[in-house]
Amino acid sequence: MDMLLQKTLLKVIVLGDVGVGKTSLINRYIHKKFSHQYKATIGADFATKELQLKDKLVNLQVMGHGGQERFQSLGSAFFRGADCCMLVYDVSLLKSFESLLYWRQEFIKQTDIPDPENFPFVVIGNKIDIDGGANRTVAQRMAKEWCESNGRVPYFETSAKEDINIDVVFLSAATAALSRE
Ligand code: GTP
């Protein structure tokens, strides 16, 4: 049988504080668009993209939540079957970086995954374009150290606005997700 006919469904969850750019990252990757306007996500964003990874045709499901939602209100269906979790912060907002641990722990709690130590997370420092980095409050070294001490999580810096590292980060998430299949 032609391997390309096998379609693998992979689910990627995108978590992070209000306004860090979860929706923008998803829109940039899936629709190749960016908007300066902030429209709070109510509930969840959902988008899919088909891509070929190695010999597999992958249907990548990307789900982002509204950062102001109470986490519990999303329900377990939101998390069920997740294959990878992206944790996003804004490099100009220290608080959003400090929330990474919270989001990681909440994800683990909500999904009830049996092997959290081996689950593929990806950390994203978004908005690196802001004032050419002059307003940055989280140093790259700090973020890398956090990732190293929280399960050697891969770390990427992105700009949804300037389209920096967007394809790379989603490809990395999809590849990590596929490795669990
Ligand atoms: P919630 O859904 O409310 O949790 O927000 P969110 O995390 O989905 O953030 P969203 O994508 O809505 O972006 C919030 C604001 O940040 C918007 O005004 C975006 O235009 C802006 N933004 C997102 N990504 C970037 C980026 O890479 N650079 C800059 N400069 N602004 C960005």
**What does the H/E/C string look like for 58-125?**
EEEEEEEECCCCCHHHHCHHHHCCCCEEEEEEECCCHHHHHCHHHHHHHHHHHHCCCCHHHCCEEEEE
Q: What is the mean pLDDT of residues 8-13?
A: 95
Q: How far apart are the first and last CA of the chain?
A: 19
Ligand 1 midpoint to CA 11 (Å): 22
Ligand 1 probe mutation, 18, 28, 36, 38, most atoms within 8 A of CB:
38
| 154 Cβ neighbours under 8 A, 6+ residues apart | 122, 123, 147, 172, 176
pLDDT(3) > 80? no
Q: What is the mean pLDDT of residues 48-75?
A: 84
pLDDT (0 to 100) of residue 72: 59
- pTM for the predicted model, two decimal places: 0.94
pLDDT (0 to 100) of residue 1: 47
User: pLDDT, tens digit, for every residue of 123-145?
Assistant: 999 999 998 878 789 999 999 99
pLDDT(53) > 60? yes
Question: For ligand 1, atom 10, which residue shows the shortest CA distance?
Answer: 21
Q: What is the mean pLDDT of residues 46-68?
A: 90
Spell out which residues line ligand 1, taking CB within 6 angstroms: 16, 18-24, 35-36, 38, 40-41, 64, 66-68, 126-127, 129-130, 159-161
User: Above 0.85 for ipTM, yes or no?
Assistant: yes
d(CA 150, CA 100) in angstroms, rounded, equals: 10
Report the chain's mean pLDDT, rounded to a whole number: 90
Ligand 1 midpoint to CA 7 (Å): 32
Q: Is 88 exposed, middle or buried (0-12, 13-18, 19+ CB in 10 A)?
A: buried
Closest C-alpha among 144, 150, 154 to residue 122: 154
Residues 17-27 as b/e (b if ≥16 CB within 10 A, e otherwise) read bbbbbbbbbbb
d(CA 144, CA 173) in angstroms, rounded, equals: 17
pLDDT (0 to 100) of residue 2: 52
Helix, strand or coil, per DSSP, at residue 155: strand
